[in-house]
């Protein structure tokens, strides 16, 4: 079965016919040519397909495209206009927060989503007081990014990249 859907991806609206089995990840990569979200495990375990769906980070491999007709999707490719870099992307470069780079677009989208959740005061598994303010310690950063695997093991510098972004944001 096929269905016609509309997706707004990185600011551009697309109308396309998809097989109902098509994941959002495959629609982005194979139909719209946006290869920044990566297919790692295709089971929601590795996080390399992470995009922002209506502003929230999700694993696009486990989302059926047809179910998200009308959605606004932001990929790592669309975080900043043209050749400019989003502060999180800049920090990943500055801190050498990757080696092969395959997980990086998912990591970057995940960090952007994570910073918004923290600003919103959402606690994590390691937040001591569930109703208190959120302080993004290294332990918090690691817990909040545990859904993104890096098989090169760049985790130490990914935490440093998040710290750089936080320092730049601080008033």
Partner 1 sequence: MIPFDYHRATDVEDAVRTATSRPDATYLAGGTNLVDHLRLGITSPSLLVDVSRLPFDDIDPLPDGGVRVGAGVRNSDLAAHPTIRRDYPMLAAALLAGASWQLRNLATTGGNLLQRTRCAYFQNPATPCNKREPGSGCSALAGWQRHHAILGASEHCVAVHPSDMAVPLAALDATVRLTGAHGDRGVPLTAFHRLPGDEPRRDTVLEHGELITAVDLPRLPPTTRSAYRKVRDRASYAFALVSVAAALTVTDGVVRDVRIALGGVAHKPWRATRAEETLRGADARPASFRAAAEAELAEAEPLPGSAFKTTMAREALVSVLTGLAEEGAR
Stretch that binds partner 1, among 6-14, 19-27, 31-39, 161-169 (CB under 8 A): 19-27
Pairs from 162-166 (Cβ < 8 Å, separation ≥ 24): 162/88, 162/91, 162/111, 162/114, 162/115, 162/136, 163/138, 164/91, 164/94, 164/95, 165/87, 165/88, 165/91, 165/111, 165/115, 166/115, 166/136
Least distance (Å) from partner 1 to the CB of residue 72?
Answer: 14
CB of 82 to partner 1, least distance (A): 27
Taking residues 52 to 91 in sequence order and writing x for each that binds partner 1 by CB under 8 A, - otherwise, the string is: -x--xxxx-xxxx-xx-x----------------------
Residues paired with 6 in a beta bridge: 15
For residue 64, what is the DSSP state?
A: B
Among 36, 75, 95, 110, binds partner 1 (CB under 8 A): 110
* C-beta closer to partner 1: residue 52 or 91: 52
Q: String of b and e for 52-73 (b: at least 16 CB within 10 Å)?
A: bbeeebbbbbebbbbebeebeb
CA dist 128 and 133 (Å) reads: 10
Rounded CA Rg of the chain: 16
The yes or no reply on residue 170 touching partner 1 (CB under 8 A) is no
Please, which residue, 96 or 132, has the CB nearer to partner 1?
Answer: 132
Judged by CB under 8 A, the stretch of 14-22, 81-89, 96-104, 155-163 that binds partner 1 is 14-22
How many residues sit in the footprint of partner 1 (CB under 8 A)? 42
* Residues forming the site for partner 1 (CB under 8 A): 1, 3, 19-21, 23, 42-44, 47, 50, 53, 56-59, 61-64, 66-67, 69, 110, 113-114, 117, 120-125, 127, 130-131, 142-144, 146-148
């Amino acid at each position: 079965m096929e269905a016609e859907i509309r997706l707004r991806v990185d600011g551009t609206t697309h109308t396309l016919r998809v097989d109902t089995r098509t994941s959002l990840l495959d629609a982005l990569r194979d139909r719209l040519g946006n290869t920044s979200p990566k297919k790692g495990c295709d089971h929601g375990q590795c996080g390399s397909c992470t995009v922002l769906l209506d502003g929230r980070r999700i694993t696009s491999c486990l989302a059926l495209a047809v179910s998200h007709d009308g959605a606004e999707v932001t990929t790592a490719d669309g975080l900043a206009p043209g050749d400019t870099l989003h502060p999180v992307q800049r920090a990943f470069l500055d801190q050498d927060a990757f080696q092969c780079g395959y997980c990086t677009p998912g990591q970057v989208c995940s960090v952007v989503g994570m910073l918004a959740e923290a600003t919103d005061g959402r606690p994590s598994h390691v937040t001591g007081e569930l109703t208190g303010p959120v302080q993004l310690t290294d332990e918090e950063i690691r817990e909040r990014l545990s859904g993104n695997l890096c098989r090169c093991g760049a985790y130490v510098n990914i935490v440093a990249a998040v710290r750089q972004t936080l320092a730049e944001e601080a008033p």
